[in-house]
Structure 1
Amino acid sequence: MESAKVLLVDDEIGILKLLDITLRKENFIHIDTASSGKDALQRVQEHRYDMILLDIMLPDISGFELCTEIRKHTTAPIIFVSARSTDFDKLMGLGIGGDDYITKPFNPLEIVARIKAILRRQDMYERSQQQQMDTFYDYGCFAYYPDSATLIVNHQPVECTAKELELLHFFCKHPNRIFTTAQLYERVWGNDVFGEEKTVTIHISKLRKKLGDDTRNPKIIVNLRGIGYKFIPANEG
């Protein structure tokens, strides 16, 4: 985890310094910073990052727009860190490819906890993929191949973020079982007491659309009101 390369994007130099110092105290030594969208995008094009922390209110471009551009170059986890705290902003950030959302002012240790949780889960996910190179899931209307991180829906490949695929993989490994949003957050995002359950619901909504599931009357990822979510394989529903 200490070898992870992190990009911090914020136009407030004080916040960049605070995060840089805090992360280095936690043994993160490969840290780059950017104070504008242009600088951030150039760094993403030139380097490979394992984690990106992204502010929304940048001087030259919205962090939302920048996230969309970044997603053209990398599937690295993106955590939005912003003073904008409305549900709309959180939904927007998670909807366009963000993996988590933290509002300012924040506790630097919360940032560290979320970064470690996401990196830990990603590492476990990648190890699991290596151990299951020959495993794939074919449910008729869609198929998922963990070894190549490929989702095929109606015979066409569908682009997904790393976190969407990790969530799908978790469901595939646990069909017909009920999980609360809190359990899904813990199992997929990591053991993080600061987690927001809304992150889970947004990712499930995005995953339903990509699987071709009816978002108003889902048949694949079913919401049991007041209980949780259950993945029902399409050829068993």
Structure 2
Amino acid sequence: MRVLVVEDHEELAHTVATGLRREGMAVDVALDGETALDRASVNRYDVVVLDRDLPGLHGDEVCRTLVRTGDPARVLMLTAAGTIDDRVSGLGIGADDYLPKPFAFAELVARIRALTRRAHPALPPVLVHGDLRLDPASRVATRAGLRLSLSPKEFAVLELLLAAGGAVVSAEELLERCWDEFADPFTQTVKVTVSRLRRKLGDPPLIETVPQAGYRI
């Protein structure tokens, strides 16, 4: 899952980003609206966590632009104003969810995960393939009832492959969706991560390499 955090308070932005990375998400940060739209124009995000009260280009205009351009990212709007009218207004311009400040970090994580489950087609809360089960909310993956010890990136790759439902996922998409903007596009990190994941999943093998296309469950 890849998330863009748009927040002009730099310390808060990086604190939130660090916490989300610990939850296994790939996170980019933008400190203003113009940078946010630039990032969204070149990267595919699952969720944009958007501070409504941005200086310069207001968060409302960022949200309207994302909606107008057909960006598939879900928008979770944050604001210090928490009245019902504020929430109705934010949702009215295209936000998918609304969270007033100050907020509990656990609730922010839960709302981000809930938004990703609204993908098309909608994803179940627990992903299952044969004897493999992955619960994104609790960060637990098991095979044949035994818990798998996965790194955050291994978990993210497995989650994306399971969510694809047997469709091929390219190495480029895995890199884009599971790593942040600082990932080297020429690195072998995807291949290495998939190799480690295969070993941890054990036999019979679950991940197939499709030559010149990518990987699939």
Shorter-chain-normalised TM-score: which range? Answer: 0.5 to 0.7
Q: After TM superposition, give the deviation of residue 72 of structure 1 in Å.
A: 2.5
Q: After TM superposition, give the deviation of residue 123 of structure 1 in Å.
A: 6.3
| Map of 2:34 onto structure 1 | 38
In 2: Cα distance, 1:125 partner to 1:31 partner: 22
Is 1:85 paired with 2:94? no
1:46 partner amino acid: V
| Map of 2:94 onto structure 1 | 97
Match of 1:64 among 60, 68, 72: 60
- 5+ residue gaps, structure 1: 128-237
Q: 2:4 touches 2:49 (CA, 8 Å); kept in 1? A: yes
CA deviation digits over 1:169-222, x for unaligned, max 9?
xxxxxxxxxxxxxxxxxxxxxxxxxxxxxxxxxxxxxxxxxxxxxxxxxxxxxx
* TM superposition outliers: structure 1 runs of 4+ over 4 Å: none
1:70 partner amino acid: L
In 1: Cα distance, 2:68 partner to 2:39 partner: 13
In the TM superposition, 1:198-217 aligns within 5 A as none
Alignment RMSD (CA, Å): 1.6
Identity over the aligned pairs, expressed in percent?
Answer: 37
Match of 1:118 among 106, 109, 115: 115
In 2: Cα distance, 1:43 partner to 1:25 partner: 22
Most deviating of 64-73 and 7-16: 64-73
Match of 1:47 among 15, 36, 43: 43
CA deviation digits over 1:82-124, x for unaligned, max 9?
1111222111110111010000001111100111122124265
Change (3 A) 1:126 1:114: closer
In the TM superposition, 1:1-237 aligns within 5 A as 4-28=1-25, 30-73=26-69, 74-122=71-119, 125=122
| Map of 1:234 onto structure 2 | none
Q: 2:3 touches 2:48 (CA, 8 Å); kept in 1? A: yes
TM-score, scaled relative to structure 2: 0.54
Q: After TM superposition, give the deviation of residue 36 of structure 1 in Å.
A: 0.6
1:15 partner amino acid: L
Q: After TM superposition, give the deviation of residue 126 of structure 1 in Å.
A: 6.2
2:13 partner amino acid: L
Higher relative contact order (CA closer than 8 Å, sequence separation 6+): 2
1:22 partner amino acid: G
- 5+ residue gaps, structure 2: 125-217
1:71 partner amino acid: V
In 2: Cα distance, 1:54 partner to 1:102 partner: 10
TM-score, scaled relative to structure 1: 0.49
Change (3 A) 1:123 1:21: farther
Q: 2:30 touches 2:36 (CA, 8 Å); kept in 1? A: yes
